[in-house]
Structure 1
C-alpha cells in the first residue's frame, strides 16, 4: 500500500469536508522526510503548524464576532494620554459590537483590554526575554495564546481581525502597521479599516503621515489612492465611526474565478450600480462592469452568507486603494 492509500485510509472516518487539505499537510510532512530536511527547518515548520492550529481552535467559537486588532507600545505608562485614549477606545469599540485583539502585554495593549474587558479580549503574546508578560486583564484567560514566532503571531493578527487600530509605539508598532498596509495594498489581506489613533491634540501619527506624503507619495513610491487605505484621527469616537461605518453595508468579499464578489447587507440599487460603473470602471478588466448577482454556486460552502446581496465585477487586482474608495461609496447607499 502506497503513502497515498495509507493517508486516505487514515482520514476516511475524519472530517470529510477538509480531508483533502489534511492529506496535503501529511504529504508535505512526508516530503520533508524524503528530502532529508535540516532538523532546524523541521522544527520551525512543526512549531509554526502547531501554533496556527491552536490559535485557529481558540478563535473558532468567535468567528461570528467582529474583532479589532489594537497595536501600540508595551512601554506606555498609565498616566499618559495615549494610554487613557486606548482605554477609552476599548470601551467604545466594544459598545459597537466588536471584540479586541492585542499582543497581550502591558502599555497600550493592556489599556485597550482594560477598556474592552476580559470577556471581550484576546491576547496574542510573544515569548520574549523582556516586556511581554501578559497583562492582568488577559493573564490566565483561555483566549490568551502564546507564540514562539512573530510571523505566525502577525498572521493571526491579520487573519482574525476585521479592523486595525494603531496607537503610538516603537519599531514593532511600525512594523505591524506597514505590514498591514502592504497586505491590503497588494490584496493579500481582506479589505478592512485601518485607523491610526493619536492622543488628543497629539502629533505622533500626523508626523508619520507627513513622512508618507512627502517621501513616499512625493517620490511616486505609492499611489494617491493608497492613502485611502488608512485614516488618522485623535478622536476615539471618530476612530470607532470609521471602523463600524466600514460594515454599514459592506459585509465581506471573495474571489470566484475572475470575479470579485462584494457581499452587502442592503439591496443593490440601479443608482448604486450606475455610480460604480461611472466612477470605478477603470478597476474592472477590459469589457467588465459592475452587476448585481445572486449567490454564485461556488459560495454554497458559506451558507451564512447566502442571504446577503451581491455586486460582482472582474476586478483588475491592482488598484486596491481605489477598491477601498469604492467600498466607501457602497457604504453610503
Structure 2
C-alpha cells in the first residue's frame, strides 16, 4: 500500500467550519501536491483547531515559537543532509587549558577529516573546542537562549549555520534528528541530560541507531564513576538490562573514538521500519555467510530474517537510497542493545 493511500484511509481531519476547510485546501494546494499536500493540510487544520480550542495565549505562544524554530532549523540543516554529523556535548565551563578542552578540539578536527560535520551547543568550553577543531565549514551551532554562560563562541557566532532556540526540548530534538553519532565529554547537569536522552532514545527505538561515545582524558574518572553509578544503582536493581550497556562506549583515546564512528558506518548505512518489517540499507552487498551468522546469533531478537530484499514501494516513492543493497527482518523492536551488536556484526564482515 502506498504512502498516499495509507494517509487517505485515515479518518478525515477537519476544522469545525467548512469554510475554513475550503480555504485550507486552497492554501495547501498552492504550496504542495500529493502526500506533502496532505501533510500541509493537516498542519493548517491543526492551527485552525488551536484557534478553536486554545484559550491560553501562553500555550499559543509556545506552539508558535516552537514551529518557527523548527522551520528555521530545518531550513539550515536541509542543505547539508548529505553529510554525516556528530553531536558533541560537554561542559560550558571547561577551561581552554583543560585536557578535555584540548581533547574535544582534537576529536572534532579528526572526525571532520573523516568527512563528518560537528554540531555543538555553540557555547564556550567543550562546545567552543568542538567548533574550533571542526572549523567553520564543518561546524554547526544550536544555541539556547539563557541569561548566563551561553553566548555563541567566536568560532560559530557569525556563521550562517548557527540556530538559536528558546526551548531545550526543541534544541535537543534537532541535535539528535540531524546527527548520526554522539560524543559526550565531561559536563554538568546539561551534559547528563543530553547523554541520558540519547541513550534513552536509542534504547526505545526513538532515534536512528548511532555510536554513542563518552570521552575523557587519560587518568580521568568522570565516566568511570558515572558507569559505576549506572551499574550499581540502575543495572543492579533491574532498571535496565546488561545488554543495554552495549548502547554506549567509554574511551580516553581520540583515535579510538573516531575509529568507532567510522566503523559503525563501514557497511551499515541506515535503517527504517515499514509496518512490522525492519529494513537495513548497506554500503555493500552482504555475503550469505554473514546472513546465516546473524540468523543463528540473533534469533533471540529476530523472528525472521535477515534476507536480501529490493527497495520497498514506500522507499521508492520517497527516493530513499535506492542504489543501496538491503536486508529485511522482523526485529522485536525491544532489545536495542542486542540490535547494536547486530550492526557490529554487519560491519565486522568487511
State the TM-score, normalizing by the size of structure 1.
0.97
**For structure 1, which runs of at least 5 residues remain unmatched after alignment?**
none
- Kindly report which structure 2 residues correspond to 1:37-48, keeping only aligned pairs within 5 A, or say none: 37-48=55-66
Pick the aligned partner of 1:245 from 263, 268, 274: 263
- Rounded to whole Å, the distance in 2 between the matches of 1:302 and 1:265 is 19
Q: Deviations over 1:200-249 (max 9, x none)?
A: 22111111111112221111111111011101000000001111110000
The SS at the match of 1:64 is: coil
Q: Which residue, out of 307, 317, 336, partners 1:320? A: 336
Please give the secondary structure, in 2, of the residue aligned with 1:3. Answer: helix
Instruction: Measure the CA separation in 2 of the matches of 1:292 and 1:43.
Output: 49
1:231-275 Cα offsets, whole Å, 9 max, x none, are: 100000000111111000000000011100000011121101101
Taking the aligned partners of 1:282 and 1:304, their CA distance within structure 2 comes to 29
Name 2:321's counterpart in structure 1.
305
Q: Post-superposition, which runs of at least 4 consecutive aligned residues in structure 1 deviate over 3 A?
A: none
Secondary structure of 1:314's aligned partner: strand
For 1:305 and 1:7, the matched residues in 2 are separated by: 33
Q: Are 1:226 and 2:244 counterparts?
A: yes
Query: What is the CA distance between 1:304 and its match in structure 2?
Result: 4.9
Deviation at 1:289, TM superposition (A): 2.5
Residue pairs, 1:142-161, within 5 angstroms? 142-161=160-179
Match of 2:211 among 193, 196, 202: 193
How far apart are the structure 1 equivalents of 2:209 and 2:130? Answer: 23
Q: Deviations over 1:100-151 (max 9, x none)?
A: 0000000000001111001110000000110001000001111011100000
Q: Which residue of 1 aligns with 2:286?
A: 268
- Work out which of the residue numbers 107, 130, 133 in structure 2 matches 1:115: 133
Give the superposition deviation at 1:322. 0.8
1:13 shift after superposition: 2.5
Cα offset, 1:303, TM superposition:
2.4
Cα pair 2:54 2:60 within 8 Å, conserved = no
Task: Give the total of aligned pairs.
Answer: 331
In structure 2, the partner of 1:183 is 201
Cα root mean square deviation, aligned: 1.1
Matched, 1:135 2:153: yes
Query: 2:24 — aligned with what?
Result: 7
Question: Distance between the aligned counterparts of 1:97 and 1:37, measured in 2?
Answer: 49
Aligned partner (choices 85, 90, 99) of residue 103 of structure 2: 85
- Structure 2 unaligned blocks of 5 or more: 1-17
Cα contact 2:311–2:326 (8 A) shared by 1: yes
1:52 is aligned, of 60, 67, 70, to 70
Matched, 1:71 2:77: no
DSSP-derived class of the 2:76 partner = helix
Residue of structure 1 aligned with 2:311, choices 276, 295, 312: 295
Q: Deviations over 1:41-71 (max 9, x none)?
A: 0100111011011000000000100000000
- C-alpha spacing 1:36/1:222, structure 2 compared with 1 (3 Å): closer
